[in-house]
Amino acid sequence: MKLDELAARCGEWLRGSGPQSDIVISSRIRLARNLADFPFIRKCTERDRAAIEGTLRERVLHLKDMTDVSYVDVADLETVDRQFLVERQLISREHAEAFGARGVAIDGQEKFSLMINEEDHLRIQVMHSGLALEQAWQQIDRIDDLIEEHVTYAFHEQKGYLTACPTNVGTGMRVSVMLHLPALVMTRQIDKVFRSLQKISLAVRGLYGEGSQAMGDFYQISNQITLGRSEKELRDQVAEVVPSLIEYERKAREFLINESQKDLHDRVSRAYGILCTAQTISSEETMHLLSSVRMGVNLGLISDLEIPTINKLFIHTQPAHLQKLRGTELDTADRNIERARYLQRHLRRGDDGAEKN
Amino acid sequence: MKCQNCEKPATFHITELTGPELVELHLCADHAQQYLAPAEEAEEATPTLAGVLAQHLNLGQTAEDLARLDQRSCPVCGVTFYEFRQAGRLGCPHDYVCFEEEMEPLIVNIHGATEHKGKRPKRGVKDSSLQTELIKLRREMTDAVQNEEYERASELRDSIREIEQRGQ
């Protein structure tokens, strides 16, 4: 797979379609699986790791009816390419930073990725735009079955699928929905919302999962528990809170419009102005401002921009993406300049930037 | 990800916005508490593995109990309970069997349940003892090679091959 070709595209999770896609960004499910005849990663010798990688690579590249699958040898990649895959959410940061034989299989539409030798031997991940947990489950369930036809998973009658960390044992499943919640952040209600989610054992994470802070007001809501509830119950639990969160966010947006439309309009317009004219800009500031602009477009305060353009900018202005698109490695200072130029080119035109990247 | 100050898993991820530059910190529960303590009282976070482990192991267990427990190791992969406590990661599937008693309260604490409900492998391998045996034999073979006991290593290799072929 040519990573450079991926770079120019937007990927599935920020495609920006599907129901309620102004607030719900994407739905994701991952399953943790281990081979029964090898120790967990921590106790693997180099030889074990290579054998696991060999077995699973063979499996994931020959899944029935799935022809458009590419395999990337992560151990062989340059740092910038590994970071690129993290930015696209195709591998985890832990997977990028690990050592030894490991890889990832990715389908052409970037709807699923199969990480080999992450924290567990196999992490299957399926991602769909918008709120689509059922479709995601059907796809991942099938992939899981296809792989299992030829390998023996570590499974215990009582404990379910056995995982390297007891926090994943049982279903090995993490269901998450990514939401864009700028108005809840602006009205300082977000912490309250999170505390109530934690009480019903749902976890809240930032854009890049475990260990990432909320960048650009993107938040992932996911199940904390994996044992003692069925996959459907776990999906339902996450899916059930999403409508309320959407409603809270909408109410907060209404409140901002009603109480202080001038201030809000000013804030959104300034954000847009900075993004259009800055000469050097960091990734954090870009995410922060794009978040305001995104909400501004959704509320009709900015009329000459489309959501897909903004979604694309969120991902294309990330450090590794910028470098891939530019075709050269850049240090932080040069990246900030390149980022500002990139934003100018794509925002001043007010279209999707159909030019060659 | 490991805590930047010790070997424990980082369960707290903090972005400090107050200084001149953004600073990202990745800390374990203990170091995070130290870091956050003077500012505000630490938010009651969701149960993290390290936190739950610490809680569970502090309750009702004397230092001697704990020391004895730490010494125990899995006959298959060799991981000690101490190692698991430090890293928060198990060594092999058999650990769930051999440390079952020790892990039970921990699992209840994390999940509020002990019985899996939901999907099962279609092929339904009832007895995975052969697979477990393979893990053990491979480890013994590596040890034998390291100790230059080549005759023993080659016997082990033959046993491994035999099981692998039976499984196919």
ipTM tops the 0.90 cut: no
Least confident of A9-18, A218-227, A264-273, B88-97: A9-18
Percentage of chain A with pLDDT > 70?
Answer: 93
Torsion of CA A260, A265, A266, A268, to 10 degrees: 120
Cα distance between residue B9 and residue A165, in whole Å: 11
Q: pLDDT tens across A305-322, in order?
A: 988 889 889 999 999 999
Which has the higher per-residue pLDDT, A282 or B131? Answer: A282
Least confident of A223-232, A285-294, B37-46: B37-46
Q: Give the orientation angle of helix A307-316 with respect to helix A283-298, to 10 degrees.
A: 170
Secondary structure (3-state) at A323:
helix
Q: In chain A, which residue's Cα lies nearest the Cα of B78?
A: A43
Amino acid letter for position A52: I
Please give the pLDDT value at position B43.
42
Give the gap in angstroms from C-alpha B109 to the nearest C-alpha of chain A: 10
Give the gap in angstroms from C-alpha A354 to the nearest C-alpha of chain B: 34
At A147, list the tokens. Answer: 């792989």
Which has the higher per-residue pLDDT, B164 or A336? Answer: A336
Amino acid letter for position B47: P
CA-based radius of gyration for chain A? 21
Q: Among B24, B46, B87, select the one facing A203 at the smallest CB separation.
A: B46
Q: Among A40, A48, A228, select the one facing B90 at the smallest CB separation.
A: A40
pTM for the model = 0.82
């699958």: which residue's tokens? A69
Please give the pLDDT value at position A3.
77
Q: What is the 3-state secondary structure (H, E, C) of chain B?
A: CECCCCCCECCEEEEECCCCCCEEEEECHHHHHHHHCCCCCCCCCCCCHHHHHHHHHHCCCCHHHHHHHHHCECCCCCCEHHHHHHHCCCCCCCHHHHCHHHHHHHHHHHHCCCCCCCCCCCCCCCCCHHHHHHHHHHHHHHHHHHCCCHHHHHHHHHHHHHHHHHHC
A37 to B121: CB separation less than 8 angstroms, yes or no: no
Give the gap in angstroms from C-alpha A49 to the nearest C-alpha of chain B: 13
Interchain CB contacts (distance < 8 Å): A and B: 163
Please give the pLDDT value at position B45.
46
Q: In chain B, which residue's Cα lies nearest the Cα of A162?
A: B93
Q: Which of A30, A42, A120, A194 to mutate to test the interface with B (most CBs of B within 10 A)?
A: A42
| Residues in chain A within 8 Å Cβ distance of B89 | 40-42, 119, 164-165
| Residues in chain B within 8 Å Cβ distance of A35 | 131
| Residues in chain A within 8 Å Cβ distance of B24 | 213
Q: Which of B49, B110, B131, B165 to mutate to test the interface with A (most CBs of A within 10 A)?
A: B110
Query: How many other C-beta atoms are found inside a 10 Å radius of the C-beta of residue B20?
Result: 5
Q: pLDDT tens across A113-148, in order?
A: 999 999 999 999 999 988 899 999 999 999 999 999
Q: Among A37, A228, A230, select the one facing B134 at the smallest CB separation.
A: A37
Which has the higher per-residue pLDDT, A336 or B65? Answer: A336
pLDDT at A351 over 60: no
Give the gap in angstroms from C-alpha A304 to the nearest C-alpha of chain B: 33
B138 to A48: CB separation less than 8 angstroms, yes or no: yes
Q: Among A37, A159, A226, select the one facing B135 at the smallest CB separation.
A: A37
Q: Which of B92, B137, B142 to mutate to test the interface with A (most CBs of A within 10 A)?
A: B92
pLDDT at A239 over 80: yes
For residue A210, name the pLDDT band (cuts at 50, 70, 90). Answer: low
pLDDT, mean over chain A: 90
At A30, list the tokens. Answer: 């991952």
| Residues in chain B within 8 Å Cβ distance of A169 | 96, 107, 111, 116
Terminal-residue alpha carbon distance, chain B: 36
Nearest in space to A33 (alpha carbons), one of B47, B145, B107, B119: B119
A43 to B13: CB separation less than 8 angstroms, yes or no: no
A170 to B135: CB separation less than 8 angstroms, yes or no: no
Q: What is the mean pLDDT of residues A147-160?
A: 92
List per-residue pLDDT tens for chain B, 168 residues long.
Answer: 778 878 788 877 777 766 556 677 888 877 877 776 644 333 444 455 666 666 665 555 666 777 777 778 999 999 998 889 888 899 999 999 999 988 898 899 999 999 999 999 987 666 677 888 889 999 999 889 989 999 999 999 998 888 888 765
| Residues in chain A within 8 Å Cβ distance of B122 | 145, 148-149
